[in-house]
Structure 1
Amino acid sequence: MKIVEHFLTRNRCYQAAQQNTKGGLMLHSVGCPQPSAQVFVNSWNSADKSACVHAFIDANTGDVYQTLPWEYRGWHCGSGPNGSGNNTHIGVEMCEPACIRYTDGARFTCSNVEEARAAVRRTYESAVQLFAELCERFRFDPLADGVILSHEEGHKRGIASNHGDPVHLWNQLNMGYTMDEFRKAIKAAMGSAAVPAEPAAVDNAAVIWNFLKSKGLNDYAVAGIMGNLEKESGLDPCNLQNSYNKKLNISDADYTAVVDAGAYPDFVTDKAGYGLVQWTYWSRKKALLDYAKAAGTSIGDLNMQLAFMWQELQGYKAVMTVLNSAASVREASDIVLHKYEQPGDQSVAVEEKRAASGQTFFDRFTGSSVSPFPIVPFLVRVVIPDLNIRTSPGSADNSNLSGKYTGIGTFTIVEISGSWGLLKSYRKKRNGWIYLGNPDYCEICS
């Protein structure tokens, strides 16, 4: 079994960096005919994705793609009346065969049974080995009650949304696998499992936070800057503007390398955004390049770019005035957006996304309490036709009933107040709230 580290650094779950309590492991399957783990890695590495797991198992190769540090709290199972398995369990998704087609809920047809069984066998065997290694690492007993669960079992225990995976896949392909046998297989494998070495990785978010705090900025200001940097570059100092990866047919790492080697003379004039800030204008890119040369570092060096950014910010007097007295993440985020970064789109929607990103860093580094809900925006699935929409959060006397109902369907929540969520379509006047605390009414989409 091969483990490929590919953290979803743009996913808001990764950025929140909340810790799970390491109570066990939960097994999922993806619920669609896609055997490639890389496809999920690519599509889930986005701030717009409201789900995040710790790993995917590729059905073509059996390789494990680790997408979150094991200690992080994932967004993989939703919640139930007894809380959320996201708080306690590491979540792993098995990819599914390309030759199946879902027809109704968890039911599917299969055009090549032998091919499908081979794919499922690969993911099962890798899952046994991975879970054995993780049980040894975290000293889990896989046979103990509640330690190793399927998504389906998590739902029955009241800590997950109503899904049937992965047993629905095993049963319909007559694999003969059960969760009890899976747990026994893990126990048997533990004697031979080699505990994987924890990969060493630089936490760019922590480096940036500590650098900016060392300059005397308050938490709101630092978070506001970081929310903008995350949207510009994903906090990656080697990030090349996405459209130029294709235009120049070059990766971020190769672009950085040829600039460092002096083999790409167009760095200053190519109009490609680069680095933490996505420096684009020629004079700013020239100043960055000169700064890197004087420092004797790579153009993609994180600490060099932070020092250069701080020096550059001192010339933006209006920005620094607000940052030095910022009273909210939104205030700091907006001034950086409009007066420092100045992207083409500076709409209210962009303001909200950057401020929300900043808020995740604020919550992480100031130790704010863990919410039972994902970071907004996220999706909920309403399962009753008459869930009340209220004009404000709360239901003490029903005076805030709007007389409207959601109907059954999937809705976007853009703000949380206690156990109440604001519907996206009511965002302008903030007068459309639904209750999220009862899974018999609605489920958090995982």
Structure 2
Amino acid sequence: MKLIQNYLTKSDCYQSGRKITVKGLMIHSVGCPQPKASAFMNNWNKSGANACVHAIVEPDGDVYQILPWNHRGWHCGGVGNNTHIGVELTEPSTIRYTGGANWTETGDGSNTKKHVLATYKYAVELFAYLCKQYKLNPLADGVIISHSEGCKRGIASNRGDVEHIWNRFGLTMAQFRKDIKAKMNGGADSGNGSDTSSYTKIMGKSVATVEQMRAYIRKKNLSVEQSVLDMIPLYLSEGEAEGVRGDISFAQSCLETGNFGFSQSAVMLEQNNFAGMGVTQNGMKGLSFETPQMGIRCQVQHLKAYACEDGLKNENIDPRFRYVTRDSAPYVEWLGIQENPQGKGWAAGAGYGAKILTILKNIIGDAGNSSGNEEKPEQPVKPLSGFVKVFYKGKDGLNVRTAPCMGGNVDQVVFDGIYTVVGISADGQWYKLKSGLYITTGKEYVQFMEKLPEMSSYMVKVNIPDLNIRKGPGTDHARTGQFTGVGVFTIVEEAEGKGASKWGLLKSYQKERNGWIALDYAVRV
């Protein structure tokens, strides 16, 4: 790191001369494909500029200090300006924003990864330097935070950085804090963006309990099948047999199956395949197993193939075990091909390991802070009774979040349908759903209703014996495992959805709204 002092003396922020008592450091990402700090320095060093941070980090190691550390910066749009030093990371020229915090890469992506890992490395060095200077403990609660974490705490504006960039490369704020601490203690960098000594090893004993895993899945999937709850102990017993952390394999299953709702999943519950085993390309059905135990055993064995070179204790039932480069991904962070130093791994999607760790930490209740408790958003939520109707047509569904801000984790989506509302965020931008998740307001595809629309119920006749009943209106919702059979049934609500021109809610499922049939296979009587 080369620290270059270049104060922006013409900026209104500098000239205001306000001082702060430094209590923490906040990390930001500039929010546009610009790798040079000079672009921002030139824009801010004038009267009328409405932003200014303390430092900007470039990937070559140049760090420009543009405000004295104890000056009040204009970096987070909230009261965090009064307590935290703000540092911006430049972003690679090889990305393109597609809306909000969403972005895509241009080229082969190698420059993007190189830039992100380099700025991460120099940010660790800078933050370690500042923590020593101001006698800050980087692992203490609220000392080292991202802009999005500041939003959750109610001290910063609604932004998703830096996680919106880091997640694709297996980088997390929890790891960032640990790397800063290691750097302060003289720890060496591994060359992969962080000190792997504090990465999460796949081999070992589970930390989460059966009760914690059941509580997590009940919260995330209100209609989870009882068979799923019953099989959760198998993750621990099968993991114990092979020395693999069973709670990691369970967290992976939650990711792969959409929290066992199997929406957008390549496999279904009856296949007893909870990790996409055998799905090597889009459109493949994947393997099927006679029992949940055998499906979980295969998954555990496949994880062991990546995690170490030890032999299996049980008979090998994983047909793809022999194709794995042994010991190529001993850490969860390296399970994604894009984040793996050898270019190996379980999945090609960006940030695969980081997503598993996010789920695992939510199961355990550890979001990476020093107290071991998950950070909770401090923005108050006011009670509100009603419903929202979603008209979203995106094929991947509408993101819902775990906190009322853009920084909230995204681990579920909703499709067209009606959802119960129990609250609204103080800024009016987020509805709180009955499930505890948050959905955006003010969009044309999200309509609030004080009460359910009135519709006269009617009867339909079904003439086929195997018409599936699904948990939501569409083939992208999981099947309940039940069929209507031939007969006459009462429909109490209609909705649009994938796979049929219209879907109907059966009266017997009206209370929980989790029993829908395709009306194309029914005749109104």
- The two structures have a TM-score, normalised by structure 2, of 0.36
Query: Which of the two has greater strand per residue?
Result: 2
Please say which structure displays the higher CA radius of gyration: 2
Greater relative CO (CA pairs within 8 A, separation 6+): 1
